[in-house]
Structure formats: structure tokens, C-alpha cells
Amino acid sequence: MTGVESVTGPEWVPQACTLPTEEQPLRLAEWDALFAAQTAAPHRPEPLRVRLELPAGAECEERTRDLAERENGCCSFFDFTVTGGPEGVVLDIAVGREHEPVLRSLAARADRAAASGGFR
């Protein structure tokens, strides 16, 4: 499965990631915190894209942009689009076909966060 064996810990991080191994659990915790803030269940408008809906506000938008930028620094195969508006912040995450298993794993984590925490 191209280096994506599980979605429960850093072992699913793809080999293409250049983030130092000791920093990966911290980054994963940042993603989990973002996933916990979702205002709707994540969905996949296309097979190679996941959309997350987050709360409105400059703080959420800035936090989302910062995390996406840092993630792109170590996993350049991600294409992040952050859109902020009065209704909320939308984060679109897209990948090429070869990284679909990574996107699927990320979406599964977001799904679990939505199912366990409800929506804010």
C-alpha cells in the first residue's frame, strides 16, 4: 500500500515525507486537532480530493493556512486550498493518483474525528 499501512499512528506517513520522524507524531496531533474542529463531515467531491469544513474566523483560517503550508513543506505532493468566508473555512486537500492511499488515510482520520466528536 505504498507505505500507508495504518491510519492510527505515524506509521501511515508516506516514505515521500521529509518531516523528521520524531516530529511526525506532533504534526499528526495538529491535524487531529484541526479535524476535531470540523463543522461538517469531511467529504470527497472527487476521488483525489477531500474537503473539510471548519469554523469561520481569522484565527481558524490562519491556523489552517499555517498547517497546510508546513505540511506542504515536507509532503510536497499535497495540494492545499484554503478558502475563508463568513460561513466558515474550507480546506481542500488534493493529491495525484500515486498518493491516493495517503489521502484516504487522512480522510479516515478526519472521518473518525467527525464521528467521535460531533460538530462544533
Q: Which residue has the higher pLDDT, 80 or 10?
A: 80
pLDDT of residue 6: 40
pLDDT of residue 4: 41
Q: Report phi then psi at 112, rounded to 5.
A: -65, -40
pLDDT tens digits for range 71-95: 998 889 999 999 999 999 999 999 9
CA distance 28 to 42: 17
Q: What is the pTM of this model?
A: 0.83
Pick from 47, 51, 39: nearest CA to 119: 39
Domains for the chain: give ranges and CATH numbers: 44-120 (3.30.70)
- Whether 50 and 107 have beta carbons less than 8 Å apart is answered as yes
- Does the structure show a pLDDT above 70 at 13? no
